[in-house]
Every structure is written in structure tokens, then in C-alpha cells.
């Protein structure tokens, strides 16, 4: 951006160019050519509705631009610079490209409209020679003259010309307001139809948004002056004053013009004559065509001053995929770095649309792209308000609800105008974003845009949930599990387990344990470890939150972890330990920490990893003992929650119930009622009663039926930990991965 900075330092425009660029674009072709038709179609109040709705979008946008412009050093590129420096290069370039096309198509739109000032000439030629000349005989030379002027003289000559055409424009408006109503024609019913002032009693709702799409470009000029940002001495002052001044002036003028049209011409005249203002104004046959020529040429001039600067700023930021294109378009001319090459390229684009476009069609396209841009600017302002970053300290302050309202209205109006255009516009945005993202992977993107807002939302949600925690205790149970292990890189099965638990119905936080005292060295190590773990999870996907824990011992680490608040906003309620079956010493280290975790009323899970690969297709086996009622529902719920992960989509849950003779049917009926009441996707065919013969242990039955299961869930009671824990857990070494479960209290399946 060194070129842009140079441009900014060497320029010296003040508030006036911003104001006159905006007002000359606002009071443009639509004012002279389409507002009479709008009044004739919708009536006075319907057209006022268009003006008010349009300004409900443009005024919040003007406020947002003014706010953002006073918060950052605004350089070349106008609206693009504001968007890119707030949203980042990816989003900024995406919207900047669509903004550029809106601006350069506007040049074509105003050039086409400029030819309508020569309507009397075209009518005379058709009457004299018997055929109608194409409008391009005027529009193409007019565009070429404009190109030569800007390429030869630069922005200074353009601004000087703005003053001249604005004088003509305001003179034409004054003579229009000084004019008298059109005299009604004589002749019976025709006189009644042609009576002026009969435009206050009707409102054609069906055509409201059609007319809105045609008329909305009239209001879009309020941001035109922002494009001169690189040529302003003090953008932070000139942009707010010039933009808001132009917007308010345009609003007042449009309301007065609609009133004057309504009281000065009949509905029939308004619908039939697109230059109806020439029949009302003093010396209208001369002054209105001159005014139309002045306003359309000034609007085209304002747009052509802005569009190449947007294109140059895009190229300066390397937004396009090819270096040669960026270098060519970024190259300027003279001490002010005038966008010579960007202007040359822009005129070829404008020429294409001049040759192909019509006023109403081009107006609809412009409306869509400008609405996208305005909605984005309002969204930037809202996100900055909501995210409250310390760096956001604008001297000019709007209100967040203005910005949010402007964004919502922009999107709503787009769909009301044309849902197909709206969808296509956003599809184009997405395609452009994906291309830019592909070539600029390291730049700020979508995630960064909402970081501040997500931080605020997360903070407020967590505070809210903490305040309402007493209410949540009575709601249905879901796991909020924590796990700490020093073996993250040696074995990753417990990471998979935590990923399954936190996929859809639960929350999971995994801590990598680093033994030692907190120091610069251990901190750097923890950051490196965390980065590697996060990168590995990016490749695998999942919703597991990962962190590190530095502590002098495993015991102190457990004590710290169980007191760590959950990122979900709800309290952690489950601790997951893990050990390798081939290293029984790890189990010994875990067992004396279970009571520490149970002191906080946590559910306890102990994951016993085997050397077998995870066999998801073999399903999840849940083993229930009829005397172990407290763990039963927790194991069933965990099985269902784990099964929701895509890794298990081709498998099923199978429940085994160990029982003694004579109680088989009673136990099965009880379990069926729990499953049916909880609407769990477990069929009766997947419930099996295992009758233990005399002398047969549960571990023998488990080994027999679940040796090749993908995951086996087995409950255990507190008494096991106190007495013969090592032998209990060692009894299941012959099967695959096991999750031992101990519930702090019985869970309710609802």
C-alpha cells in the first residue's frame, strides 16, 4: 500500500469534493427519467415510501462509513479500503470486486441515461429520415470524451468539472420548482384524466419493489465521495461531513421533487412522458435536457473518478491471482499516483455495458450489487459495536441498532426485489471469495471477522448460563467431559473417545499434561504441543476443545483440571482417565486419583486402550448387571451419544444384561421400558440376556461375547476401587478397548 500512502500524503481535497461527488451522483439520471413514472405508478405516498425505505438503508450505511472512516487511517480505495481493513483482505477483496463492478456499471448506466437528454434530436431525426438512430451514436462518443478528459487531466479536472455541472443541476431544479402545473387538455373524460394533483389517492403495492429496484440507484451516490479517500487531505473529517451532507440534501430534494410532480402533473402524463419535468419547469424544454445532461455526465464523472481508484487499491493489495495483472492495474501516473491503467481498463468495461445495456436492466443489477455492499458496511459497523474491540475508537459514533437495521433491510429488500438475482449475487460473492482465499491463504478471513463478536457472545452466554445453573440442574443430562493425559502423541485412542463424546450431544475438553514447574521454557513447550495437537485435529475434524496443563505432578494437574470451567458454559460433570492395558503401572497412578475427582461429584470414566485397532463396524457393547442400577442409564446414554459420531454410522449398540435364573423376563421388560421411554434407537433384537452359570464370572461372559467389539462399556462400583481394583480391571485384558463407567448418581432418561 506504499503507493496509496504516497497518494494520500500528496493530495489536498477537502469536504467540498466529497459532498459534490455524492450529491451529483444522488441527483442523477433516475431523478429526471424515472421519478415521474414512479409517481404515476405508485402515487405520492408509494413514491415517498421508496424514498424512505431507500434512505433507511443508505443513512445507516452513511453513518457506518463515517464511523469506520474516523476509526482508521483511510487511504486510497474508499469503501474498499474501509471494508478490507475491517474485514480483512479476503472479504474486503470479495466485496471490493463486486463494488468495483457496481461503480463501473454505474458509469455505463449514467452514460446511457445521458443520451436521453438528446431525445428531441432522435425524434426529429426519425421524423425527417424515417428511422430511429441507435442511442449508441451519442453514448459511445460521450464515454470516449469522458475517458480522454480523465486520462489526460486526472482527478483535478474532474473535480473542477463537478462544480460546473452542479451549478447547472441546481439551476435546473430551481427552475423546475418555480414552474407551474401542466394545463389539463380539453375534451370530456380526457380532461378528467389529465387533471394535475390527482396522485395522492392511490398506492400500487404490486409494483412497489419493481419500482424500488429501478429507483434505488438514485440513492446510491451517497458513498461516491468516499472513493476519493486517497485524494483527501483529512478523510476522517471530509468523509463524514461530505457523505452525511450529500445524503440529507438528496433526501430533502427527492421529497420535494415527488411533491412537485404530484401536484403539477396528472397520472396519465406522468406515465406517458419520461421527461415530464420539462413540461413543468420554467424554460423546461431547454433547461431540463441541460440539467439531465449535466446530472448524468456528473454522475458518470463521479463514478469514473471512484471506480478506477477502487480497482487500483484492489491491485495494490494483490487481490487478483496474477502478479502481472496486479502490477499493471496498480501502476499510477504523476505525483498523486493517478490510477491511469485502472482508468483505461475501467473504460473498456464501461464501454461493453454501454453497447449492451438498457437503463432499467442495468439499474436492477446496480441495485443488487450496491445493496450487498451497503449491507456489508452496516454489518461491519454492527460487529465492531458488538465485538467491542479496544482498537475500535471512532471519533464519529453511530448506534449499533442503526447498523443492524441497515444490514437486515438490505438483505430483505434484495429478496423482495428479485430472489433469483439475490441468490445469484451471493453465489458470485462465494465464488470470488473462494478464488481469493485460494491465492491468499494466510490473510485474514471469515473466522477472524467474527472473532470479536463470537468472544462477546460466548462471554455473555457463559455468564447467563452460570446465573441460571440451578435451573439447568433439573434439565436432561449431557456429558461435559474433561480428560488429561501425558500420552497425546504416543496413543490417540482417548482423543478419539473424547471426539466422539463431544461431537453432537456433549462437550469435551482434552488437556495434554506437561510435568514440571511453570516457566518460560515449559510455557514455550506447551504452546508448541498445543499447536501440533490443534493441527492434527484440524485434519481429522471434530468439536473437541484442546489445551495444555503444566503442573509439578499428575495429582496437582488433576486438581487443577477438575476446577477448570468448561468452555461450554455448563459445569464439567465427567472426568475421563486413560491407561494402556500393557502398562498396569499407569492404572495404579489413576486409581488413587479417582477419589480426588469424586470429591467434586464427577462421573468417572476409565478408558482402557488395547493394541487392537478401533473396529467401529463391530459396534458398541454395553454390559449391564441387574444389581448395578446406578450406572445403567449413564452407560446407555453414553453409548447413544458416542454412536451419533460419523465414525459409528455403520454400526449399532448392543446391550448385554447379566442375570441369574428366574429373573430374565423381568430384567428385560424393565430395560425395554427405559429404552422406549427415552426414545433411544436400540431395537429389542439388540438386547441379550446373558445367564451366568454357577461359578461363571462377568468377565468370562464379557470376553466370550465382546472380544471383537469396537468399544465395550462396563460399569463399576466405588467398592471396587477400595478393595481389589487391579484384579478387576485386569480381568478384561483379553478384549479390545473398554470404557469403565461409574456414575456419581443415577441419570434420568427422558
What is the tens place of the pLDDT at every residue in 386-436?
Answer: 766 666 667 777 888 898 999 999 989 988 888 887 888 778 878 888 888
Tell me what pLDDT residue 188 has: 45
- Report whether 682 contacts 619 (CB < 8 A): no
Report residue 747 as a C-alpha cell: 441419570
Are 244 and 66 contacting, i.e. CB atoms less than 8 angstroms apart? yes
**pLDDT for position 579:** 93
Q: 750: buried, middle or exposed (CB in 10 Å: 19+, 13-18, 0-12)?
A: exposed
Per-residue pLDDT reduced to its tens digit, 711-738: 999 999 888 887 778 888 888 888 999 9
Please write down the HEC assignment for all residues of 621-671: EEEEECCCHHHHHHHHHHHHHHHCCHHHCCCCEEEEEEECCCCHHHHHHHH
First CA to last CA distance, the chain? 60
d(CA 541, CA 523): 26
pTM: 0.63
pLDDT at 340 (0 to 100): 83
**546 pLDDT band (50/70/90 cuts)?**
very high
Cα dist. 148→44, 142, 144, 334, 694 in Å?
42, 10, 6, 16, 104
- How many whole angstroms separate alpha carbon 136 and alpha carbon 355? 7
Q: How far is CA 659 from the centre of its chain?
A: 57
Tell me the angle at which helices 89-114 and 136-153 cross, rounded to the nearest 10 degrees: 130
Among 78-92, 348-362, 440-454, 682-696, the range scoring the smallest mean pLDDT is 440-454
Residue 625, beta-bridge partner list: 658
- Look at phi and psi of residue 318 and say left if phi exceeds 0, alpha if psi is from -120 to 50, else beta: left
Higher pLDDT, 729 or 739: 739
pLDDT digits (tens, 9 = 90+) for 312-365: 888 888 888 888 888 999 888 777 777 888 888 888 888 888 876 566 667 777
**Nearest Cα to Cα of residue 414 among 427, 399, 432, 396:** 427
The secondary structure element, H or E, covering residue 741 is strand 738-742
d(CA 576, CA 599): 15
Task: In whole angstroms, give the CA distance from residue 237 to residue 36.
Answer: 36
Give yes or no for a contact between 509 and 566, defined as CB atoms under 8 angstroms apart.
yes
* 2-448 and 472-580, same CATH topology: no
- Number of neighbouring beta carbons within 10 Å of residue 474: 7
Q: Is 553 exposed, middle or buried (0-12, 13-18, 19+ CB in 10 A)?
A: exposed
What pLDDT, on a 0 to 100 scale, did the predictor assign at position 358? 66
Half-sphere exposure of 226 (CA within 13 A, CB side): 32
Supply the pLDDT for residue 1: 40
Q: Which three cell numbers stand for residue 235?
A: 478523510
Residue 46 grid coordinates = 408509494
CA distance 149 to 155: 9
C-alpha cell at 352: 461493453
More confident residue, 363 or 653: 653
Q: Which fold has domain 2-448?
A: Amino acid/polyamine transporter I (1.20.1740)
How far apart CA 614 and CA 712 sit, in angstroms, is 11
More reliable by pLDDT, 60 or 239: 60
Asked if 275 contacts 116 with a C-beta cutoff of 8 angstroms, the reply is yes
Is residue 81 a contact partner of residue 74, using CB atoms and an 8 Å limit? yes
Mean pLDDT along residues 12-30 = 76
Query: What average pLDDT does this structure show over 78-104?
Result: 78
DSSP state of 566: P
Give the strand pairing for 687-691 and 738-742: unpaired
**pLDDT class of 619 with cuts at 50, 70, 90:** very high
Among all chains, which residue has been given the C-alpha cell 480523465? 150
- For residues 414 and 422, the answer to whether their CB atoms sit within 8 Å is yes
Residues 6+ apart with CB under 8 A from 492: none
**Cα 179 from Cα 156, distance rounded (Å):** 36
pLDDT exceeds 60 at position 470: no
What pLDDT shows up at residue 549? 95
Query: In sequence order, which residues have a C-beta less than 8 Å from that of residue 143 and are 6 or more positions away?
Result: 107, 108, 111, 300, 347, 350, 351, 354
* 218, pLDDT greater than 50: yes
The Cα–Cα gap between 507 and 485 comes to 17
DSSP 8-state code for residue 27: S
Dihedral of CA atoms 467, 471, 474, 479 in degrees, nearest 10, equals -30
Q: Say what the pLDDT of residue 739 is.
A: 96
Dihedral class, residue 337 (left if φ above 0, else alpha if ψ from -120 to 50, else beta): left
Q: How many CA atoms lie within 13 A of 497 on its CB side?
A: 33
Crossing angle of helices 359-387 and 35-69, rounded to 10°? 30
Q: Are 303 and 103 in contact (CB under 8 A)?
A: yes
Coil, strand or helix: which one is 750? coil
**In the block, residue with C-alpha cell 471506480:** 307
Considering only CA atoms, which of 432, 425, 314, 424 is closest in space to residue 372?
A: 425
Range of lowest pLDDT (90-104, 214-228, 457-471, 636-650): 457-471
From the centroid of its chain, how far is CA 13? 35
pLDDT digits 0-9 by tens, 151-204: 766 555 556 666 777 788 888 889 999 988 887 665 444 444 566 667 787 777
The C-alpha atoms of residue 181 and residue 175 are separated, in whole angstroms, by 13
Residue 231 vs residue 4, higher pLDDT = 231
Q: From residue 429, give the alpha-carbon distance in Å to each of 338, 423, 438.
A: 28, 10, 14
Name which of 216, 222, 264 is nearest 241 in CA terms. Answer: 222
Q: Decide if pLDDT at 47 tops 50.
A: yes
Rounded distance between C-alpha atoms, residue 276 and residue 273, angstroms: 5
Cross-strand pairs, 550: 514
Mean per-residue pLDDT of the chain? 81
Residue 335 — φ and ψ, nearest 5°? -70, -25
Domain ranges of the chain: 2-448, 472-580, 610-750
| Model pLDDT, residue 472 | 47
Residue 7 has pLDDT above 50, yes or no: no
The whole-number average pLDDT for the span 286-296 is: 81
> E strand or H helix at 715, and its extent?
strand 711-715
Strand ranges of the sheet holding 653-659, from the earlier edge strand across to the other edge: 545-551, 507-515, 480-485, 574-580, 603-609, 738-742, 711-715, 620-625, 653-659, 687-691
Return the closest-CA partner of residue 277 out of 55, 27, 50: 27
In the predicted model, what is the mean pLDDT of residues 620-649?
Answer: 88
Q: For residue 251, which of 31, 41, 405 has the smallest C-alpha distance?
A: 31
Nearest to 621 by CA among 739, 503, 495: 739
Is the model's pLDDT at 225 over the cut of 70? no
pLDDT at 441 over 70: no
Question: Is residue 586 scored above 90 in pLDDT?
Answer: no
Average pLDDT over residues 48-76: 81
CA distance 53 to 95: 23
Distances (CA, A) of 296 to 112, 156, 260, 348, 722: 9, 19, 21, 19, 90
Give the HSE-up count for residue 238: Cα atoms under 13 Å, Cβ half-sphere: 28
pLDDT at 742: 94
* C-alpha grid cell, residue 648: 459409528
Distance CA 538, CA 353 (A): 45
Residue with cell 464523472: 301
pLDDT higher than threshold 80 for residue 533:
yes
Q: Per CATH, the architecture of 472-580 is what?
A: 3-Layer(aba) Sandwich (3.40)
Architecture of domain 610-750 in CATH? 3-Layer(aba) Sandwich (3.40)
pLDDT at 679: 61
Calpha distance 181→37 (Å, rounded): 16
Between 666 and 584, the more confident residue is 584
pLDDT over 70 for what percent of the chain? 82
Specify the DSSP element, H or E, that contains 539. Answer: helix 520-540
Q: Which set of grid coordinates corresponds to residue 223?
A: 458513498
Amino acid at each position: 500500500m506504499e503507493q496509496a500512502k504516497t497518494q494520500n500524503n500528496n493530495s489536498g481535497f477537502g469536504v467540498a469534493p466529497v459532498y459534490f461527488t455524492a450529491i451529483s451522483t444522488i441527483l442523477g439520471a433516475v431523478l429526471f427519467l424515472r421519478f415521474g413514472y414512479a409517481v404515476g405508478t405508485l402515487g405520492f405516498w408509494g413514491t415517498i415510501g421508496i424514498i424512505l425505505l431507500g434512505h433507511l438503508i443508505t443513512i445507516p450505511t452513511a453513518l457506518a462509513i463515517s464511523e469506520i472512516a474516523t476509526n482508521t487511517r483511510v487511504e486510497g480505495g474508499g469503501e474498499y479500503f474501509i471494508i478490507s481493513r475491517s474485514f480483512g483482505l479476503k472479504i474486503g477483496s470479495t466485496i471490493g470486486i463486486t463494488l468495483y463492478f457496481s461503480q463501473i456499471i454505474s458509469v455505463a448506466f449514467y452514460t446511457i441515461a445521458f443520451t436521453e437528454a438528446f431525445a428531441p434530436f432522435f425524434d426529429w431525426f426519425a421524423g425527417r429520415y424515417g428511422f430511429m438512430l441507435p442511442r449508441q451514436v451519442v453514448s459511445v462518443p460521450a464515454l470516449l470524451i469522458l475517458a480522454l478528459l480523465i486520462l489526460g487531466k486526472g482527478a483535478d479536472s474532474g473535480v473542477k468539472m463537478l462544480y460546473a455541472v452542479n451549478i447547472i443541476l441546481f439551476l435546473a431544479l430551481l427552475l423546475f420548482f418555480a414552474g407551474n402545473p401542466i394545463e389539463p387538455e380539453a375534451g370530456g373524460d380526457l380532461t378528467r384524466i389529465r387533471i394535475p394533483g390527482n396522485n395522492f389517492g392511490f398506492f400500487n403495492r404490486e409494483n412497489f419493489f419493481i419500482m424500488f429496484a429501478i429507483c434505488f440507484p438514485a440513492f446510491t451516490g451517497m458513498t461516491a465521495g468516499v472513493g476519493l479517500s486517497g485524494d483527501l487531505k483529512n478523510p476522517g473529517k471530509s468523509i463524514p461531513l461530505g457523505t452525511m451532507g450529500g445524503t440529507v440534501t438528496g433526501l430533502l430534494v427527492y421529497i420535494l421533487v415527488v411533491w412537485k410532480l404530484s401536484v403539477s402533473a396528472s397520472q396519465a402524463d406522468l406515465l406517458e412522458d419520461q421527461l415530464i419535468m420539462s413540461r413543468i419547469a420554467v424554460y423546461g424544454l431547454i433547461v431540463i435536457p441541460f440539467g439531465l445532461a449535466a446530472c448524468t455526465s456528473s454522475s458518470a464523472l463521479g463514478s469514473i473518478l471512484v471506480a478506477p481508484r477502487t480497482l487500483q487499491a484492489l491491485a495494490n493489495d494483490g487481490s487478483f491471482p496474477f502478479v502481472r495483472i496486479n502490477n499493471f492495474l496498480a501502476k499510477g501516473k504523476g505525483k498523486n499516483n493517478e490510477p491511469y491503467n485502472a482508468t483505461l481498463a475501467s473504460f473498456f468495461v464501461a464501454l461493453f455495458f454501454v453497447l449492451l445495456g438498457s437503463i432499467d436492466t442495468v439499474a436492477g443489477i446496480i441495485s443488487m450489487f450496491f445493496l450487498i455492499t451497503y449491507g456489508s458496511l452496516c454489518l461491519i459497523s454492527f460487529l465492531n459495536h458488538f465485538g467491542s474491540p479496544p482498537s475500535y475508537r471512532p471519533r464519529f459514533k453511530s448506534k449499533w441498532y442503526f447498523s443492524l437495521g441497515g444490514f437486515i433491510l438490505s438483505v430483505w429488500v434484495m429478496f423482495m426485489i428479485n430472489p433469483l438475482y439475490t441468490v445469484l449475487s451471493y453465489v458470485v460473492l462465494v465464488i470470488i471469495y473462494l478464488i481469493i482465499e485460494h491465492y491468499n491463504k494466510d490473510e485474514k478471513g471469515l473466522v477472524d471477522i467474527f472473532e470479536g463478536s463470537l468472544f462477546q457472545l460466548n462471554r455473555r452466554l457463559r455468564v447467563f448460563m452460570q446465573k441460571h445453573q440451578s435451573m439447568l440442574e433439573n434439565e436432561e443430562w449431557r456429558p461435559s467431559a474433561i480428560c488429561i493425559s501425558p500420552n497425546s502423541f504416543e496413543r490417540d485412542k482417548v482423543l478419539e473417545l473424547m471426539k466422539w463424546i463431544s461431537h453432537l450431544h456433549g462437550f469435551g475438553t482434552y488437556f495434554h499434561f506437561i510435568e514440571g514447574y511453570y516457566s518460560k521454557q515449559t510455557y514455550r513447550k506447551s504452546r508448541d504441543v498445543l499447536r501440533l495437537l490443534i493441527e492434527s485435529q484440524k485434519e481429522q475434524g471434530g468439536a473437541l476443545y484442546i489445551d495444555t496443563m503444566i503442573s509439578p505432578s499428575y495429582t496437582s494437574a488433576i486438581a487443577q483440571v477438575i476446577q477448570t470451567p468448561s468452555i461450554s458454559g455448563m459445569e464439567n460433570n465427567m472426568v475421563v482417565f486413560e491407561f494402556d492395558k500393557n502398562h498396569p503401572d499407569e492404572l495404579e497412578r489413576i486409581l488413587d486419583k479417582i477419589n480426588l475427582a469424586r470429591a467434586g461429584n464427577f462421573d468417572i470414566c476409565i478408558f482402557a486402550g488395547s493394541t487392537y485397532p478401533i473396529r467401529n463396524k463391530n459396534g458398541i457393547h454395553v454390559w449391564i448387571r441387574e444389581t448395578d442400577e446406578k450406572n445403567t442409564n449413564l452407560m446407555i446414554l453414553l453409548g447413544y451419544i458416542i454412536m451419533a459420531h460419523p465414525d459409528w454410522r455403520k454400526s449399532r449398540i448392543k446391550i448385554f444384561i447379566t442375570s441369574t435364573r428366574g429373573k430374565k423376563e423381568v430384567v428385560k421388560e424393565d430395560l425395554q421400558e427405559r429404552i422406549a421411554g427415552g426414545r433411544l434407537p436400540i431395537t429389542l433384537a439388540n438386547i441379550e440376556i446373558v445367564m451366568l452359570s454357577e461359578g461363571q464370572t462377568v468377565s468370562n461372559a464379557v470376553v466370550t461375547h465382546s472380544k471383537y467389539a469396537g468399544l465395550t462399556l462396563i460399569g463399576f462400583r466405588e467398592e471396587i476401587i477400595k478393595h481389589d481394583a487391579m484384579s478387576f480391571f485386569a480381568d478384561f485384558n483379553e478384549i479390545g478397548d473398554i470404557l469403565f463407567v461409574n456414575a456419581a448418581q443415577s441419570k434420568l432418561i427422558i
